[in-house]
């Protein structure tokens, strides 16, 4: 019906008013024609009803036929109104056709409307800034992480080297002490083999002296030495063994304390440096603070070493005086 009406409009627009009246009798318009047209136009505009649109087109066709048959120019007005409403309602017809097709086709084959295409294009147009913008900062963050990892690895390597040097020094000191003790024992053995018949309460230091004396209890050792002087004079070899034992204990004590304290200091500075780096990253100011803290750590380790060395020498001198040995 709508198609036939459109053909009629095109025919009339090309050839003007027909000169021959096709209708044998003129059909007048209904008395409420204007009210019907107004009501249908409102329904089409507000409700977008297809049925109202078809009824309106029928009224327009009747008006065009009637006014054209009586030679009234009003038929042109209704032609223009008809064309205008057909153009406006073209979107309604397309939407109706797409809904009808969606009931018989799968979701993958449903044609996309122009509105959805435009919306999708807008979304696609606005997506890149949100995805690309963070990429701008990634190279900087990656560089900071690499710099921080590099500093941490360097610090770990330095700590490992320091610990290795300390272990080597301790090992060399232990080896020297062991060699000295072995040489002292050999000398004592040779001395005893020369005079095996002379007894003494301190000939076997750990046989006649109490267990406390074997742990460097100097007064009991001196009592043994007094008796050894009376019995035959074996005090000097026994005092030498006692002194070596005491010296070994002093060295072991301060080496252990040095390892413990240096490890505590290194761990403390390492935790502080890691905390500062986690807060400030690897900026120039943070790097300067880290370098200053590393210098303070080395100075504190040197002060610790000097302090322990001084105390160690004092205890050795005190042991010499108790044993009656010259320094």
pLDDT of res. 310: 94
Residues 317 and 270: beta-carbon distance below 8 Å = no
**What number of other Cβ atoms are within 10 A of residue 68's Cβ?**
22
Burial bucket for residue 77 (CB in 10 Å: 0-12, 13-18, 19+): middle
Tell me the three state secondary structure of residue 13. helix
**At how many degrees (to 10) do helices 235-280 and 218-231 cross?**
160
Q: Supply the pLDDT for residue 19.
A: 44
> In the prediction, which pLDDT does 294 show?
92
Q: Identify whether the C-beta of residue 218 lies closer than 8 Å to the C-beta of residue 322.
A: yes
pLDDT by position in tens, the chain (length 327) = 444 555 555 555 444 444 444 444 677 888 888 888 888 888 888 877 788 888 889 898 988 999 989 988 888 898 888 888 888 777 666 766 676 666 554 444 444 444 443 444 444 334 444 444 444 445 566 777 777 777 777 767 776 676 667 667 766 776 676 677 677 667 666 655 554 444 443 333 333 333 333 444 444 444 444 444 444 444 445 788 888 888 889 999 999 999 999 999 999 999 998 888 888 777 888 888 889 999 999 999 999 999 999 999 999 999 888 888 766
Q: How far apart are CA 176 and CA 247, in angstroms?
A: 12
Contact 272, 293 (CB under 8 A): yes
Helix axes 50-69, 33-47, angle to 10 degrees: 150
Separation of alpha carbons 126 and 122, rounded Å:
6
Distance, in Å, from the CA atom of 53 to the CA atom of 55, rounded to the nearest integer, reads 5
Which residue in this structure is represented by tokens 């040197």? 302
Residue linked to tokens 């009656």 = 324
Distance (Å, whole) CA 301 – CA 312: 16
C-beta atoms surrounding 38 within 10 Å: 11
Where do the domains of the chain lie?
Answer: 2-18+27-95, 142-323
Number of other CB atoms surrounding residue 246 within 10 Å: 21
Q: Tokens 């083999």: give the residue.
A: 193
Q: What is the pLDDT of residue 203?
A: 39
DSSP tag of 113: P
CA 144/CA 257 separation, integer angstroms:
38
Asked if 89 contacts 41 with a C-beta cutoff of 8 angstroms, the reply is: no
First-residue to last-residue Cα distance in the chain: 131
Q: What is the pLDDT of residue 128?
A: 44
């Amino acid at each position: 019906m709508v198609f036939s009406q459109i053909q009629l409009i095109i025919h009339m627009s090309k050839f003007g008013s027909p000169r021959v009246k096709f209708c044998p009798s003129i059909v007048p318009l209904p008395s409420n024609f204007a009210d019907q047209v107004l009501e249908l136009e409102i329904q089409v505009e507000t409700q977008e009803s297809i049925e109202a649109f078809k009824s309106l087109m029928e009224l327009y066709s009747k008006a065009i036929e009637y006014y054209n048959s009586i030679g009234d120019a009003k038929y042109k007005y209704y032609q223009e109104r008809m064309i205008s409403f057909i153009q406006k309602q073209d979107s309604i017809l397309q939407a109706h056709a797409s809904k009808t097709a969606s009931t018989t086709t799968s979701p993958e084959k449903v044609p996309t409307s122009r509105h959805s295409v435009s919306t999708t294009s807008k979304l696609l147009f606005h997506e890149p800034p949100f995805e690309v913008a963070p990429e701008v900062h990634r190279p900087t963050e990656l560089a900071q992480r690499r710099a921080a990892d590099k500093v941490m690895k360097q610090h770990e390597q330095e700590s490992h080297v320091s610990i290795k040097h300390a272990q080597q020094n301790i090992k060399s000191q232990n080896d020297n002490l062991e060699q000295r003790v072995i040489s002292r024992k050999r000398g004592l053995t040779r001395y005893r083999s020369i005079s095996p018949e002379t007894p003494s309460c301190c000939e076997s230091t750990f046989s006649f002296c109490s267990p406390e004396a074997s742990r460097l209890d100097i007064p009991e050792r001196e009592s043994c030495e007094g008796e050894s002087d009376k019995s035959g004079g074996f005090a000097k070899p026994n005092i030498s063994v006692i002194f070596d034992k005491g010296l070994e204990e002093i060295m072991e004590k301060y080496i252990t304390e040095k390892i413990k304290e240096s490890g505590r200091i290194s761990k403390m500075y390492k935790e502080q440096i890691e905390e500062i780096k986690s807060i400030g990253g690897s900026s120039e100011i943070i790097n300067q603070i880290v370098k200053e803290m590393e210098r303070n750590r080395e100075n504190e380790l040197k002060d610790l070493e000097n302090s322990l060395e001084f105390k160690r020498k004092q205890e050795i001198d005190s042991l010499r005086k108790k044993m009656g040995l010259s320094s």
